[in-house]
Structure 1
Amino acid sequence: MKKGFLISTFMVLVIGCSVISHNLESSEPIKIAAVFDLKKRLSVLDIPASRGAIIASEEINSSGGLFNRDIQLIVRDTGSSVNKIRQKIEQLIYMDKVQAFVGYSDTNYVLAANPPIQAARLPFISIGATSPRISGGLDGGETLALAAFGDNAQAAVAAEYAFSQFGSKAIIVFENNKDYPILFSRYFKKRFEELGGQILGSYYFVGNPPAFAPIARQIKKLKVAPDFVLLASMPVNANMLIRQIRLAGLHGPIIGGDSMDIAEIHKVNPLEVGQIYYTSHAFLSRENGSDKIKSFIQKYKDRFGTEPENSFAALGYDALMLLVEAARRAESLEADKLMAAIENIRNFESLTGAMTYARGRRTPFKPVSIIRIGSSGPELVDERMPEKMPIP
């Protein structure tokens, strides 16, 4: 008999036995699972996110905890395969007996983890997933909320900025086997064309590393040069694709989404200075940041020996703070009450901007930062809300 069958059978049995308790009178720590891919493709985002969540848990406990109880943050590397993710999630639910989840910086991971969490009726705050569909019941569950803005928001801001700053002609290069790049490129195209922009070509790739040669041949056949390139890829492929786009003869601006907020992009070739842009959840700066951001940067460095690698560190912090804020408002960790409390949150101050939710919509309205790679690294060039967002 296969191990996966045993775990699934065990899951069904323990659901019937109601092993998950929401007793707030207990003096035991409240167990919250923080789940990530800490060794594989998304570790470049998930490691900073996990560290941000750790800092948040330490702040919460030093301030009295939640319901006068400490939080025990159980950080777990679940790997990247769907089967392994679900196995680890079920272990956290039925063996560790956690009462809530935060985690993951990518939509596909959230979709893999979501079914057992929903089956157990536990609250789940995604740290960095950006599909606006998964928190509204289209592709997700009833006990899931996002801490990050939606792909429709960041794509709309990218389109509006690019149209006003770069020009009206673009090509799109996107990865065709992951939710984020597909949705980001789709929403960008819709908003850009609404503004009067023209997409000269839309080219997709699959694989790691990507097979770019067929795309390069098509780009070289273009009769009109684009004003810029929209690049929608996962972090592991972004820097390689920038080089391939240049080898194909395109030397204008390249703009991407939050997956480009990684060290490999920050240290881009000096010839690219001023030509690489991406949307981000926050600009973490000692010089220009708020007092709260400066304090976070210092705590992060004191705790981990380095400053935050990217904005996903701030998202990790914000996600746990959001969960605790909602639990306090709901006076409960029960998923239905906690999700209802989230839907009533307005202008919740976080490291990544004021967060506002709406009834039936647990993807926050919040500002989007636009970052440019300058001579000394990333620099903030704009921060704005989208003028108009495509419907999920």
Structure 2
Amino acid sequence: MKLVDRLASILIGGVVLTSLSFANIVVQPQSAVGLAQEDVNTIAEQITVMIDGSDDAQISKGSGVIIRHEGNVYYVITNRHVIEKEGNYQLQTVDGNRYVVNYRQIQKLPGLDLAVVQFSSDKNYRVAQLGDSDLLSRRQKIYVVGYATPGAIIPYRPFIPAEGTILERLPASREGYALIYNLNIILPGMSGGPILDEQGRLIGITGLGEPDARTGRIDLIAGIPSNYFRSNVAEIVALPNQQSSIPASSSNSNHFFCGISDGKPATIVRTSRGNIPLILWTSPELTSGFSREQRCEEVSAKLQQANQNSRLRYIRAGTVGERPVLCIPFEINSPCSLSNVLIFLSPGTDANYVLEKLFNSRQRAIPIHKPIYL
């Protein structure tokens, strides 16, 4: 995601291409009855794909949404800036299968920060249902999901579900960024992910954030309404038959352990780049009576166990017994509970903010790493 860009700095551009109506997309009538959050998240996970570029650059990693299916060809919409750099790209679907993208057949929508990518598969993947973005109103609840970029704590790309509220609908915008909203969490790599309403319908594509100058948090986010691309998208050309899927990689050499950093007990992750302190333990846990050292040992062991069992993917913020926590559920829709708590936080702590700091600390492009203090 263009997390370092400001809204005023969106580039104007686009390639003029032949338009093609979304004749095969089902547009659902708007309804006032919303689904449960876990149902929306289930839909979101099924229609969202991970996009990886040919290098480790953050700009070459994003997310996308399956918006059409014809025969064995699927069409995915994403942000143009995600695939701007020419090179080799791959998509990963919800089942872990990876598909090679023919870059020459990526089509860019004129005047919008959007592009259509396609892949071929004989598997049956869910297609997004398109909602009417013109009916969105201020303070309306929305859901945004995507795959965050990898880092020290999670060496692969975790699926991140977020929720928020529509703040404004701009009458005119550059590159299509007319929806302004806030979210409880937003991370690099979520660009191109879907914006869904409470019925799980696609009402936009997320893609731009503006950090607060004082805190660095992304409190103002912009997306492109679905009606901007409902009837006018780039002409799609079928991919050659030689495209194939690639088995998902399960290699993971990271190791979490409790050590000492800056004279304090620290949860540290050993990576190919060396040891990286994630959490410096500065106070005991009052409820359990655990010392700093015991907290360090317990949390580090839980992280390592989850890492070995490939369960770090769904680390999330929540509450248990009215206490804010970070937890590692077995599935995206599982709530935080005593059985999956990773860290109990102090009463009144913003768990989402702690989670965001933990993720952002691993995104640093400079070698100086700043752990969080708990």
TM-score, normalised with respect to structure 2? 0.28
> Which protein is richer in helix relative to its size?
1
Which of the pair is proportionally richer in strand?
Answer: 2
